[in-house]
């Protein structure tokens, strides 16, 4: 059913990269979510009213909140498709994350409300009457949510949408919730044991957990989450595939939503290479790697002196000094300016996220160690932070 529905509603299956087509796919997914969740909510509200079950009513309210989530998702896709303007030169793709955050707040409020009601129901238990209609509605709901999970995952993979991935996860959580409600109803129907308050608490906790997960998933990109390690690895390999590029460092990636990823990095090249030639190479690498990985890439060229025995020996000794301070450290842009009274030794030392030694203390330790080896040296060390684990092997 899913492939047929996608062919009918999303006929341009190879053109989802554009904002307009992402918005169309998001609108279709949101519309399907609204329709299915409203139907499930209506059926469960009827079952809850007939049976007097708090847990079934809570599950119905969860489906109603899912319909609201789908509506917000549709709005988010529509807003994120707006073109860039003077006030927002990087576009509006992060609206998708903002609507996801609004959905998560709604889910948390709903879960808290039903947890309170279920706890009251647990201590003031009232008898429920579970009929065949209620059991059928719950069973059909489980099947519908499994299909919904599959549908969201399919569309999310087509348009690379974090919002729809979150909706798919929520649908799978709903399967667990409704299954718990169904088990409780079956126990009441056939064993005569009243556990509606307990099941209601379980459903409420499920709702709260899904809300917290969604908060974490949607706030991460807004706060500046670390880039995808696979993207970092592929970008590094793409750039180093050119033999003229000796090394790479200082990668920074900024994401403004799907299709709006910007990256900068430094590429080391032989200082003896003709400037015009290497500039042309860098232009080609930016265009080809950027197009291959779907991002806007800017590369800064760093000339490196090669085949200098004296410089190579100094470099090797100082690399050993850096490793002795911590094997987690990396360095780049090593160069020496020799003078009659002193030598300026310049390099950048790269520290990983969460490194224990403060920057100033690290510079002091390295400077002391270098001056022990080269008393006339004047170390000029700059600390870089590896925001993408770019230099990790």
CA dist 6 to 167, 259, 376, Å? 17, 22, 71
Segment 160-215, tens digit of pLDDT: 777 788 778 878 878 888 888 888 889 888 888 878 778 878 878 877 887 888 78
Beta-bridge partner residues of 266: 249, 300
Element (DSSP H or E) covering residue 385: strand 377-386
Residue ranges of the chain with per-residue pLDDT less than 70: 1-21, 121, 124-126, 258-259, 389-393
Q: What is the dihedral of CA 14, 18, 21, 26, to 10 degrees?
A: 110
First and final CA of the chain: distance in angstroms? 45
Segment 361-387, tens digit of pLDDT: 999 999 999 999 999 999 999 998 887
* The pLDDT value given to residue 218: 76
Segment 127-161, tens digit of pLDDT: 778 888 889 999 999 999 999 998 888 888 877 77
Question: How many residues does the structure list for the chain?
Answer: 393
Q: What is the dihedral of CA 111, 114, 118, 121, to 10 degrees?
A: 170
- C-alpha angle 366-368-327 in degrees, rounded to nearest 5: 30
Cα–Cα distance for residue pair 386/88, rounded to 1 Å: 28
Please, what's the b/e burial string for 195-205 (b: 16 or more CB within 10 A of its CB; e: otherwise)?
bbbbbbbbbbb
**pTM score > 0.85 for this model?**
no
Q: Does residue 82 contact residue 70 with C-beta atoms inside 8 Å?
A: no
Q: Which domains does the chain have, with CATH numbers?
A: 2-223 (1.20.1510.10), 226-303 (3.30.70.1350), 308-393 (3.30.70.1350)
* The pLDDT value given to residue 393: 42
Alpha carbons within 13 angstroms on the beta-carbon side of residue 241 total 12
* The pLDDT value given to residue 146: 93
* The pLDDT value given to residue 239: 92
Q: Does residue 380 contact residue 346 with C-beta atoms inside 8 Å?
A: yes
Q: Which residues neighbour 361 within 8 Å (Cβ) at sequence distance 6 or greater? A: none
Q: Which residues neighbour 15 within 8 Å (Cβ) at sequence distance 6 or greater? A: 21
According to DSSP, residue 244 is labeled T
Q: Does residue 201 contact residue 122 with C-beta atoms inside 8 Å?
A: yes
Determine the 3-state secondary structure of 358 from DSSP.
coil
Backbone angles phi, psi at 273, to 5 degrees: -70, 145
Beta-bridge partner residues of 255: 261
- Sign, Cα dihedral of 359, 328, 271, 301: negative
- Mean pLDDT of the chain, nearest integer: 83
Within 124-161, residue ranges assigned H as helices are 132-159
């Amino acid at each position: 059913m899913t492939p047929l529905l996608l062919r009918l509603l999303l006929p341009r299956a190879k053109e989802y990269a554009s904002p307009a087509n992402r918005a169309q796919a998001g609108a279709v997914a949101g519309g399907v979510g609204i329709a299915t969740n409203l139907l499930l909510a209506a059926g469960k509200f009827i079952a809850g009213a007939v049976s007097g079950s708090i847990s079934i009513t809570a599950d119905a309210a969860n489906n109603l909140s899912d319909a609201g989530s789908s509506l917000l998702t549709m709005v988010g896709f529509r807003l994120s498709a707006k073109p860039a303007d003077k006030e927002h030169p990087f576009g509006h793709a992060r609206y998708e994350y903002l609507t996801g955050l609004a959905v998560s707040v709604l889910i948390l409020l709903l879960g808290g409300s039903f947890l309170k009601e279920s706890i009251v129901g647990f201590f003031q238990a009232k008898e429920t009457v579970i009929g065949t209609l209620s059991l059928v509605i719950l069973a059909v709901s489980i099947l519908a949510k499994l299909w919904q999970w599959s549908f969201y995952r399919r569309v999310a993979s087509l348009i690379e949408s974090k919002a729809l991935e979150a909706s798919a996860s929520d649908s799978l959580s709903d399967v667990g919730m409704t299954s718990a409600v169904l088990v409780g109803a079956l126990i009441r129907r056939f064993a005569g044991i009243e556990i509606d308050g307990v099941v209601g608490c379980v459903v409420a906790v499920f709702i709260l957990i899904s809300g917290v997960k969604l908060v974490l998933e949607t706030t991460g990109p807004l706060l500046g989450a670390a880039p995808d390690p696979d993207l970092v690895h592929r970008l590094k390999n793409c750039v180093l595939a050119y033999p003229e590029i000796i090394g790479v460092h200082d990668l920074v990636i900024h994401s403004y939503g799907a299709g709006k990823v910007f990256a900068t990095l430094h590429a080391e090249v032989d200082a003896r290479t003709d400037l015009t030639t290497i500039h042309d190479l860098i232009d080609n690498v930016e265009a080809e790697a950027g197009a291959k990985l779907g991002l806007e890439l800017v590369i800064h060229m760093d000339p490196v002196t090669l085949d200098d025995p004296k410089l190579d020996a100094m470099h090797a000794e100082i690399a050993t000094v850096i490793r002795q301070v911590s094997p987690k450290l990396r360095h780049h842009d090593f160069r020496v300016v020799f003078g009659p009274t002193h030598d300026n030794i310049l390099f950048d030392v790269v520290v990983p996220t969460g490194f224990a030694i403060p920057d100033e203390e690290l510079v002091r330790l390295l400077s002391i160690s270098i001056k022990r080896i080269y008393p006339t040296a004047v170390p000029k060390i700059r600390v870089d932070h590896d925001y993408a684990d770019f230099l990790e092997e």
